[in-house]
Structure 1
Amino acid sequence: MYSKYFTEEHNVFRESFRDFLKKEVVPHVDKWEETGHIDREIFKKMGDMGYFGLYYPEEYGGLDLDFFYTVIFLEEMQRINSGGFAAAMWVQAFLGAQHLLKEGYERIKQDYLVPTLSGDKIGCLCITEPFGGSDVAGMRTTAVKEGDHYIINGSKTFITNGVYSDYLVVAAKTDPEAKGRGISIFLMDRETPGISATKLNKLGWRASDTGEIGFDNVKIPAENLMGEEGKGFPYIMQHFALERLIMAINAHARAEYALEYTIGYMKDRTAFGKSLDKFQALRHKLADMMSETEMAKNFNYSIAEELDKGLYPVKEASMAKLLSTKISDEVIYGCLQFLGGYGYIEEYPLARMSRDSRLGPIGGGTSEIMREIIAKMMLDGKDYKPAAK
């Protein structure tokens, strides 16, 4: 197992986490896929085991481990074939929580980040809007300061953990005339009056709750502003590199699991007197698919190493998400084809996997946005930098 990146300690962690998932998660996945609601108890169990805090400082209940423990965390969750469960867990561990860590004041870290990592509170990150999609700078949700409070109005959509979470990290315009420079980041408790949530019915990722959130004159204390007013856009962009790498790792792990399952199926399935893995046309197609997946995986590992060293690989993470999600979609499509009619049957894993995989080129910034970011950096000399501290 890739000695350049993974030590014996990493490998022990992988086996331990795989056993945990097999015991605590796999027996419930089909129910969660059907109901679209993951039991809160599993968040607590994950937190108690330290899985949400792998990459966080010990002072907030984290384990302060290198990023390759998180790589294992992401890869192993793809093997249980529930993109929705995996999404709910990594959103809990990284999306809102990263803003709490980087922009939250000490009170917010103690009151929200600590219970997030322990699994006692569930969080979500609210950026995407119904009319905005990947156009973050064009958001319409507003935050108007009135004395020692802000009044929030607007809506968000496609929010993972958006229905059942305990708190929300919300981006809103504090200066509507300033475009991207007028965005700020706020913390809201779920029970705050004026917050509503509608559950969305999705093609894939069905185990996770995905919601459209409404804010109707939601009044929050001014102290719930995180970081500096007006700096929300660079804060968001700073965390996008991590989210895109996470999506890329999910993609190569998903493709790898699909290939592993399909190869096993082809060795057992016979046609015209021999097993499917002996037909040259299928063997060569598999060789192509395995090669592309392996290339994506190693590219993603190299970026994970950069991130672990404190670098800011925006271009590379965007490339990784663009290519890995594309490869995953193509590999899983091919694997489903190799199963023939059984690939289309719900009792076999490729049906769900194909639905879940399709979100890869959409969520966390579409492939079209990834191409434009890469083009801006490579052709126009655009340089994305971390938000100033």
Structure 2
Amino acid sequence: MDAMSAQYTAISVTGTGARRHVELNRPDRHNAQNLTMLPDLGATWNLPRLVGHQRALDLILTGRPITGAEASALGVALQSVAADALDDAVVTYAERIGGLSRVAVASVKASVDATDENTSLKSQEPGRQLHSSVRQPKPIAGEHIMTAQLTGTAGASTIHGPEHAQFRDTVSTFIERNVVPHFERWEATKVVDREFFAQAGEAGLLLFATPEEFGGAGIDDFRFNAIVNDEFSRAGLGSAGLGLALQNDVVGPYLLGLTNDEQKARWLPGLTSGELIGAIAMTEPGTGSDLSGIATGAVRDGDEYVINGAKTFISNGQNCDLVIVAARTSDDRHKGLTLIVVETGTTGFEKGRNLDKLGLHGQDTSELSFTDVRVPVANRLGTEGEGFLQLMRNLPQERLSLAVSAVGAAEGTLARTMDYVKERKAFGQPIGSFQNSRFVLAELETEISIARVFVDHCVDLLVRKELSSVQAAKAKWWTTELQLRTADRCLQLHGGYGYMREYPVSRAFVDARIQTIYGGTTEIMKEIIGRSMGL
């Protein structure tokens, strides 16, 4: 279903590939100023086969308008409709192929509403050709739009396809509608609304790899996870995004990879829809990076484990419905740990205070206590005594998740600072025009660009199941230190205003500080790398 102009494909109904959504493909987010047709899950990919290579290039690159009838003849349009019937046709089409889930129709309707605000459609020949005048919204300064286009652009990602670009648009729209209006309140109350997770599930932003029979898309592709983290961090909304990252990148893999069919049926549907919120409890008051020092105990008593102990610094700790507890089932430092799921409401399981942190105020972080907590053996993940190995196996992905967020946050902070230094004047000229400012910003731009390339490389390795713990450690320590360094230097360029909490750079500064600590400190990351060098 196409509406064409000389410069843009105004509307294209496709599936996003991430969660069987159906939504409008709005090219204003794809930096595709010279495209007649965008790569929309098959249309452009199939063009060379349908019309020949040279003809395909002509259609894609020249910007020549194409009629609805011609597009249909080429096999790249399913239907042509008159402008005044467009909205109804889109929704009808979505309901037909998007009866897949309630998400599909809701996504299309939301996209139609958004398109109504940005697109003026007229039909020169009803049912034959639709033209559009697309008003391009002002992009986020410094934003890197990652697409896989034939034309190519400097800095464009080589690991993302058109389905990822479309999904990025979905995440961006979700943030604008469901996060930005509430974010300051969440920061003040120090916890996000539970509804936020349900909305994320409805939008298809949770547990992409959940099998279809349990309510998911069945797509094991970390690039979708990375896009969620990237968009939240770049927008300066890290405390909200962290909760989703925890569900997707930390909790999710354990419950996808270590559960039996009964456990999957019990937990995956709720975690994927956002009706259930997950957490993982490793850190204890006396144990941080050294997981072999975990003291919380779980003693087998028939068909139950009896758990006693305390955990701290647990993200999602207030909102969580279930928590994966790393507990000691024997005295062996490494073979004595077992992962057990404890559900909220279990007798003896208590959530302590919501900790008052330096930054990431919107993320609930809690103390948890376990006093004679009886949990069925059926809640154990995997085999008893394999908890340490299970934790080590998933740490590379957890650390890469933090690295992705770090680069996104650094990019966003730099972009907002660029806007500031161009507008703020001192001694009669923009402060960005001073040599010191140019040098500082040039250094940050260079380092962030290099970090982006390496992190994309690591994401690609993870997708191919080739990411090592050493590579993840390199990405984690370098990018998080860079995020902290970027926030510090950008705050300095803001002068006294940067110290005011009303300025985003102030929040960026305090939110960045934890990045070099949790998920493995910088010092631990360097230790992992050093040992790999035979030192």
TM-score of the pair, normalised by structure 1: 0.95
Counterpart-to-counterpart distance in 2, 1:378 and 1:142: 36
Describe the SS at the equivalent of 1:69. helix
**Paired position in structure 2 for 1:46:** 200
Give the deviation of 1:129 after TM superposition: 0.8
Give the deviation of 1:58 after TM superposition: 3.2
Higher Rg? 2
**Paired position in structure 1 for 2:465:** 310
Counterpart-to-counterpart distance in 1, 2:373 and 2:221: 39
AA partner of residue 324 (structure 1) = T
CA RMSD in angstroms comes to 1.2
Give the deviation of 1:55 after TM superposition: 4.1
Give the deviation of 1:65 after TM superposition: 5.4
Q: 1:277 aligns with which of 417, 429, 432?
A: 432
Instruction: Point out the more displaced range, 87-96 or 154-163.
Output: 87-96
**Paired position in structure 1 for 2:103:** none
Counterpart-to-counterpart distance in 2, 1:343 and 1:138: 41
Give the deviation of 1:331 after TM superposition: 0.8
**Paired position in structure 2 for 1:235:** 390
Is the 8 Å Cα contact of residues 26 and 80 (structure 1) preserved in structure 2?
no
**Paired position in structure 2 for 1:18:** 172
Give per-residue Cα distances to partners, 1:75-120, cap 9 Å, x unaligned: 1011332322111111122222211111112111111122101101
Q: Does residue 118 in structure 1 map to residue 273 in structure 2?
A: yes
Counterpart-to-counterpart distance in 2, 1:164 and 1:73: 20
Describe the SS at the equivalent of 1:252. helix
Q: 1:82 aligns with which of 225, 237, 249?
A: 237
Counterpart-to-counterpart distance in 1, 2:213 and 2:231: 27
Q: 1:33 aligns with which of 187, 193, 196?
A: 187
Matches for 1:126-205 after TM superposition, within 5 Å: 126-176=281-331, 178-198=332-352, 199-205=354-360
Describe the SS at the equivalent of 2:449. helix
**Paired position in structure 2 for 1:384:** none
Instruction: Point out the more displaced range, 184-193 or 273-282.
Output: 273-282
Give per-residue Cα distances to partners, 1:233-276, cap 9 Å, x unaligned: 01001111000000111111100000000001111111112112
Matches for 1:343-382 after TM superposition, within 5 Å: 343-379=498-534
AA partner of residue 292 (structure 1) = E
Counterpart-to-counterpart distance in 1, 2:527 and 2:379: 34
Give per-residue Cα distances to partners, 1:327-386, cap 9 Å, x unaligned: 110011000010111111111101111111001000111111111111122225xxxxxx
Is the 8 Å Cα contact of residues 338 and 383 (structure 2) preserved in structure 1?
yes
**Paired position in structure 1 for 2:415:** 260
Distance change in 2, residues 1:349/1:300 (3 Å): same
Counterpart-to-counterpart distance in 1, 2:345 and 2:534: 47
Counterpart-to-counterpart distance in 2, 1:244 and 1:203: 21
Counterpart-to-counterpart distance in 1, 2:493 and 2:215: 46
Give the deviation of 1:67 after TM superposition: 2.1
**Paired position in structure 1 for 2:250:** 95
Give the deviation of 1:311 after TM superposition: 1.6
**Paired position in structure 2 for 1:319:** 474
Give the deviation of 1:19 after TM superposition: 1.4
Counterpart-to-counterpart distance in 2, 1:362 and 1:186: 25
Counterpart-to-counterpart distance in 2, 1:99 and 1:8: 29
Is the 8 Å Cα contact of residues 54 and 62 (structure 1) preserved in structure 2?
yes
Distance change in 2, residues 1:183/1:62 (3 Å): same
Equivalenced residues, count = 379
AA partner of residue 351 (structure 1) = S
Counterpart-to-counterpart distance in 2, 1:347 and 1:126: 33
**Paired position in structure 1 for 2:402:** 247
Q: Does residue 286 in structure 1 map to residue 441 in structure 2?
A: yes
Q: Does residue 330 in structure 1 map to residue 467 in structure 2?
A: no
AA partner of residue 135 (structure 1) = D
Q: Does residue 9 in structure 1 map to residue 163 in structure 2?
A: yes
Higher relative contact order (CA 8 A, sep 6+): 1
**Paired position in structure 2 for 1:215:** 370
Give per-residue Cα distances to partners, 1:106-145, cap 9 Å, x unaligned: 1111111221011010110011111001110110001110
Distance change in 2, residues 1:248/1:3 (3 Å): closer
Q: 2:214 aligns with which of 60, 76, 95?
A: 60
Distance change in 2, residues 1:287/1:56 (3 Å): farther
Give the deviation of 1:9 after TM superposition: 2.4
Give the deviation of 1:180 after TM superposition: 1.3
Describe the SS at the equivalent of 1:158. strand
**Paired position in structure 2 for 1:339:** 494
Is the 8 Å Cα contact of residues 225 and 249 (structure 2) preserved in structure 1?
no
Is the 8 Å Cα contact of residues 38 and 85 (structure 1) preserved in structure 2?
yes
Describe the SS at the equivalent of 2:286. coil
Counterpart-to-counterpart distance in 2, 1:56 and 1:307: 18
Give the deviation of 1:162 after TM superposition: 1.0
Describe the SS at the equivalent of 1:358. helix
Counterpart-to-counterpart distance in 1, 2:319 and 2:462: 31
Counterpart-to-counterpart distance in 2, 1:100 and 1:194: 23
Give per-residue Cα distances to partners, 1:2-57, cap 9 Å, x unaligned: 24122222222212211110111101000000001211111101001110123444
Is the 8 Å Cα contact of residues 53 and 61 (structure 1) preserved in structure 2?
no
Is the 8 Å Cα contact of residues 234 and 410 (structure 2) preserved in structure 1?
no
Give the deviation of 1:59 after TM superposition: 3.7
Is the 8 Å Cα contact of residues 303 and 313 (structure 1) preserved in structure 2?
no
Distance change in 2, residues 1:34/1:240 (3 Å): same
Give per-residue Cα distances to partners, 1:150-189, cap 9 Å, x unaligned: 110111111001122111111100002x101100000111
Is the 8 Å Cα contact of residues 169 and 187 (structure 1) preserved in structure 2?
yes
Give the deviation of 1:62 after TM superposition: 2.6
